[in-house]
Chains A and B, each alone.
Chain A
Amino acid sequence: MSDFSTNGPVYGLMAEFDSAQELVAAAHKTHAEGYRKMDAYSPFPIEGLAEAIGFHKNRVSLVVLIGGLIGLITAYSLQYWVAVITYPTNIGGRPYHSWPSFIIVTFELTILFGGISSAVGMLALNGLPMPYHPVFNVAEFAKATENKFFLVVESSDPQYDAARTRSFLSSLAPRMVAEVPS
């Protein structure tokens, strides 16, 4: 895997590390070196790793807020429309707009819509489901879901240069550096 013989288009260069500490340190150095199109892969969430590669904020909470609000408005307006406008019924002499009774369904649908949008929003923002991704072409990457840590500098980065980037990554003392075929 670690020779230059691959001829096809290249997705980037992958460095493999043994520990979370090494990966975070390497990610910091690579980002400081000026690389931006890069990603780090680990078998569990590592605190500070996303920040190290320059990813600070995600929009999942915004999606959940919007989803929850849609649920809230849907539920309350549906109940109002049913109970007051289209199907008014006298239940024990209560007013048609008996809002305390409508709170439960409003609450439940807020949670339902918010919860579903958090899962769907997270997957959509992550671009999942994605059956194919170039990193899977490297055989060692199978350990990324077990015990190994990977850093990938993508060839689309303006600073990317096959030889220079490889020697830079090698300077970070990885277990190996491999070319990722696209």
Chain B
Amino acid sequence: MATNTQIPVADRRVPVIAPGYTFTTITEKVSNIVLKRPLSLGWIFGFLIVFGMLNMLAGVLGYLFLKGVGIWGINIPIGWGFAIINFVWWIGIGHAGTLISAILALLRQTWRNSINRFAEAMTLFAVMCAGTFPLAHMGRPWLFYWMFPYPNTMRYWPNFRSPLVWDVFAVSTYFTISLVFWFVGLIPDLATMRDRAENPFVRRIYALLAMGWRGSARHWHRYETAYLLLAGLATPLVLSVHTVVSFDFAVGIVPGWHTTIFPPYFVAGAIYSGFAMVLCLAIPIRVIYRLQDFITERHLEISAKVMLATGLIVAYGYGMEAFMGWYSGNQFDSFLLWNRFHGPYRFWYLALLACNILIPQVLWLKKFRVSTGWLWLISFIVLVGMWLERFIIIVVSLSRDFLTSSWGMYYPTKWDWMTFAGTFGLFLTGMWLFMRLLPSISIFELRTLLPEAHVHEAEEVKQ
């Protein structure tokens, strides 16, 4: 074990976990957020706000069910409007959680261990927000089950050649697998909570959820296989979800939608906005709950780099769209390009270019990657930019298609805005409760980051 004292050159960066921690102090630090930390006025005040927003969502959806989608700004030609913009945006946010938990697990990026839990929770709540919109957009949402194939008295079956049916399967599978993955990851930590909780009622609840986990070597062996396989299954899944979402557009013939670049460009955009949301949440959370030792500068810097890289892929996507508009020689495609820069929505298109391409370039400088204030601001700008991207793709293409006689403009109503704001209530209420009810960092995976967790370390160094 003498090799432990020599730090390899590559590891002289900010560590992923601050030095000086032991199994006990890690466990205490994370579990005490739930078990010991008193309710602060700030938490209650914030909760009242986000819970109020959630109630606003319930209210506007109730009014929507009563009156129908006519209260929204949608019209013909723009039949999709906010509902689909927000659906695509929210589901993209979720992608970072799965990327962190599954893809980085397969790549053995152990730094992910301290951010995967809350990123997965973020995924779940984001997918819930996303799912709200197509349901609400249906017109008769109480008949949502017609989307699923089941024997019925209408003797009707879904059309499996339709991307909208693919979407139903992709999004419901995504939510289910994200939930399963998250819960499987939680089981050992729920056992820790069970063994540390002093309140008998709380203890009973964690005991029920932990299902009698006792950390047996045989159990861990199967657990690790199952977790690895889940990561292996979730990896192609997360890449497929936004691909299928992009098929909703790419299979259509509308100018600006009918392109083969959509799937990779959508997936990159999803990860881009998802990491922006991870940073927007992680930066305040690590300060409020004093988790700077576990969510270190290194995590923020790596996330910033991922954002920069995916942002460049998105920029390439914009470039290719413009290039194909010119190179195809198709008059509708070249008109779309002209329309984006000179049409009625030009201000929003230029704002999109600024938010998504221009401003994030400052992340090339280390100063901005390690400054939490700047990083938070840039992440927020990216979130706005990615929302504008969805807006431009949907509204600009639909507002001016092939026939000038069918052109129109889209103006969201207050109900559109309130529904969008309401989903933030759903998302943040979920995060608010999650932070205080479940261990927000994977305790057992943090333990494996400590050098004393590695029995074979000496041999590995030799190899």
Contact = CB atoms under 8 A, between A and B. Distances in A.
Interface residues of B, number: 65
A111 B220 contact: no
B16 to A, nearest CB: 16
B226 A118 contact: yes
A49 B222 CA distance: 12
B456 A48 contact: yes
A20 B455 contact: yes
Interface in A100-151: 101-102, 104-105, 107-109, 111-112, 114-116, 118-119, 121-123, 125-126, 128-133, 135-136, 141-147
A61 interface: yes
Interface string A10-33: 000000000111001001000000
A131 B191 CA distance: 12
B217 A131 contact: no
A126 B452 contact: no
B105 to A, nearest CB: 13
Contacts, number: 205
Interface stretch (B151-159, B356-364, B375-383): B151-159
Contacts of A55: 217-218, 221
B20 to A, nearest CB: 15
A52 B236 CA distance: 34
A118 B184 CA distance: 10
B24 A112 contact: no
Contacts of B161: 83, 91, 94, 98, 101
A39 B217 CA distance: 7
Interface in B369-418: none
A153 interface: no
B444 to A, nearest CB: 5
Interface stretch (B162-170, B283-291, B298-306): B162-170
Contacts of B191: 145
A79 interface: yes
B194 interface: yes
Interface in B223-250: 223-226, 229-230, 233-234, 236-237, 240, 244, 247
Contacts of A107: 236, 240
A125 to B, nearest CB: 5
B176 interface: yes
Interface in B266-295: none
B223 A122 contact: yes
A43 B229 contact: no
B131 to A, nearest CB: 15
Contact of B215 (A27, A42, A83, A121): A42
B232 to A, nearest CB: 9
Nearest to A110: B233
B202 to A, nearest CB: 15
Majority SS of interface residues in chain B?
A: helix
Nearest to A142: B195
Contacts of B219: 126, 128
B453 A44 contact: yes
A45 interface: yes
Nearest to A88: B157
B215 A119 contact: no
A58 B221 contact: yes
B103 to A, nearest CB: 14
B223 A126 contact: yes
B216 A39 contact: yes
Contacts of B216: 39-41, 126
B225 A130 contact: no
Interface stretch (B47-55, B67-75, B206-214, B422-430): B206-214
Contacts of A102: 160
Contacts of A39: 216-218
Given A46-B217, A91-B161, A132-B212, A112 B177 contact: yes
A42 B236 CA distance: 32
Contacts of A41: 214-217
Contact of B226 (A68, A111, A122, A131): A122
A146 B173 CA distance: 34
A34 B313 CA distance: 59
Interface of B: 22-24, 27, 149, 155-162, 165-166, 169-170, 173, 176-177, 180-181, 183-184, 188, 191-192, 194-196, 207, 211-226, 229-230, 233-234, 236-237, 240, 244, 247, 444-445, 447-448, 452-456
Closest 3 pairs between A and B when the two form their complex, measured CB to CB? A129-B211, A122-B226, A147-B23
8 contacts: A42-B217, A49-B220, A58-B225, A83-B161, A108-B240, A126-B216, A144-B215, A146-B195
